[in-house]
Amino acid sequence: LTFDDQINCFKKTKEVIRAKIGDRAANKHVNDAMYFIGLGSNDYVNNFLQPFMADGQQYTHDEFVELLTSTLDNQLTQTIYKLGARKVIFHGLGPLGCIPSQRVKSKTGMCLKRVNEWVMEFNTRTKKLLEDLNKRLPGAKFAFADTYPAVLDLIDNPTRYGFKVANTSCCNVDTSVGGLCLPNSKMCKNRKDFVFWDAFHPSDS
């Protein structure tokens, strides 16, 4: 589901709650709730970083980040906030340049520095947006959860966290043609040793 679709689900859920407990109680319930939002990775991995997708050709990275943050601004102010959400934690992006689908593009198999720099720029801009919204919107408590350093440390030092392999995925897929784990894909024997399950997603890590 897109974020807009998820917001519509939130709206419908609030209507169901209102029908059961009334307007006042429903509004208080929504105001008091804590919301966790994580987005952005698909915008990069499935769009901007794909050479055959329009986003990667139509926009510079600065323009792309501006598009993402301006869209998020509108979604948070015109829908999420107006529906009553006040306490929101935004999950920042991790080092996407280090996921298997990006490493395969490197001649050395190392993390793609440029991609990680783009991700950090997105995180910085998003954190600034949330700080601005806290000033603009009465009662808003929007926080940014920066998970980038922790995830990067996990990838750089997998044995410290009980893993052994962080540079490739357990599900042995051709990351150059998709990277999703399919029913006939070859699996690793020691799944618990891998930080990544497939070319995009982490395992139990």
pLDDT tens string 126-171: 999 999 999 999 999 999 999 999 999 999 999 999 999 999 999 8
Same domain flag for 59 and 23: yes
Domain around 167? 157-205
Three-state SS letters, the chain: CCHHHHHHHHHHHHHHHHHHHCHHHHHHHHHHCEEEEECCHHHHHHHHCCCCCHHHHHCCHHHHHHHHHHHHHHHHHHHHCCCCCCEEEEECCCCHHHCHHHHCCCCCCCCCHHHHHHHHHHHHHHHHHHHHHHHHCCCCEEEEECCHHHHHHHHHCHHHHCCCEEEEECEECCHHHCCCCCCCCEECCCHHHEEECCCCCECCC
Overall pTM surpassing 0.85 (yes/no): yes
Q: How confident is the model at residue 52 (pLDDT cuts 50, 70, 90)?
A: low
pLDDT for 180: 75
Residue 152 maps to a domain: no
Number of structural domains, the chain? Answer: 2
Q: Based on the domain organization, do 82 and 8 belong to the same domain?
A: yes
Q: What is the pLDDT of residues 186-205, one digit of tens each?
A: 888 899 999 999 988 898 76
At residue 177, the pLDDT reads 56
